[in-house]
Amino acid sequence: MKFGRVLLEGREKNAFFEGDKAIVDGRKIAPGKFSFLPPCIPQKIVCLGKNYSEHARELKSYKMIADSPDKPTIFLKPPSAMVGSRQPIVWPEDKDVERVDYEGEMAVVIREKAKNVSVEDAHKYVAGYTCFNDVTARNVQKADVQWTRAKSYDSFAPIGPWITDASEFNPLDARVTSMVNGETKQDSNTSKMTFNAFEIVAWVSRIMTLFPGDVIATGTPEGVGPLKRGDEVEVEIEGIGILKNKLE
């Protein structure tokens, strides 16, 4: 089952998805008749850094501190940064921004309130999984001690197109790819993550209470890189779908 949110006839609606059609209030809606919205409404977006060892080494090439951690490294993005599939990523007006990068990854969507859950029980608190693009102002990230500014500009959290139900997806072994203008830039598998989805949910729940709709982005593999205006990014996760956004 795939579910999420759409804009239909000027109204925000919950939807299920069957192929390329949205099912809203029992009606099947053809593509082009609706727009994707972010598939959930979180209180917070928790992101992992350096969760693929090859990406950690990649960040070292940017002269950033990026050793593979022995504990998850987390940071936050605001919900205001979210956009749905096919909505634009907007180059910030901030004159400090000189480089905008894509970072494709898998995201976990929380089903119910979770606090101090075990790794073994973590799956019980997951509603499903979706695609995520941790868009980053790379030069700003390098300049700042904290990553918040570089990660939080409006439209820097594309997510979707929908959520695939947790019962129908294996987050421990799924191919993750990113393409820019049809050219593959990232190609990896969630099996290569340093910390898997359930370990991440358990870890984060020890620090902060997770609420229904909260998003945990699980980190990006190697192959991140810069975008220019007009580029289209596609983040695809095997068993979920394709998140498409163009940089304007």
Q: What is the pLDDT of residues 59-81, one digit of tens each?
A: 655 555 555 568 899 999 999 99
Hey, how many other C-beta atoms are within 10 angstroms of the C-beta on 53?
16
131 contacts: CB under 8 Å, gap ≥ 6: 104, 105, 106, 107, 159, 160, 161, 235, 236, 237, 240, 241, 242, 243
Q: Does domain 38-246 have CATH number 1.25.40.420?
A: no
pTM (2 d.p.): 0.94
- Kindly state the average pLDDT of the residues 7-26: 97
Q: 201's torsion region: left (phi>0), alpha (psi -120 to 50) or beta? A: alpha
Query: How confident is the model at residue 145, as a pLDDT?
Result: 85
> CATH for 1-36?
2.30.30.370
Same CATH topology for 1-36 and 38-246: the answer is: no
Average model confidence (pLDDT) across the chain: 95
Domain positions in the chain: 1-36, 38-246
User: What pLDDT score does 70 carry?
Assistant: 82
67 and 208 Cβ atoms separated by less than 8 Å: no
Q: pLDDT for 209-225, tens place per residue?
A: 999 999 999 999 999 99
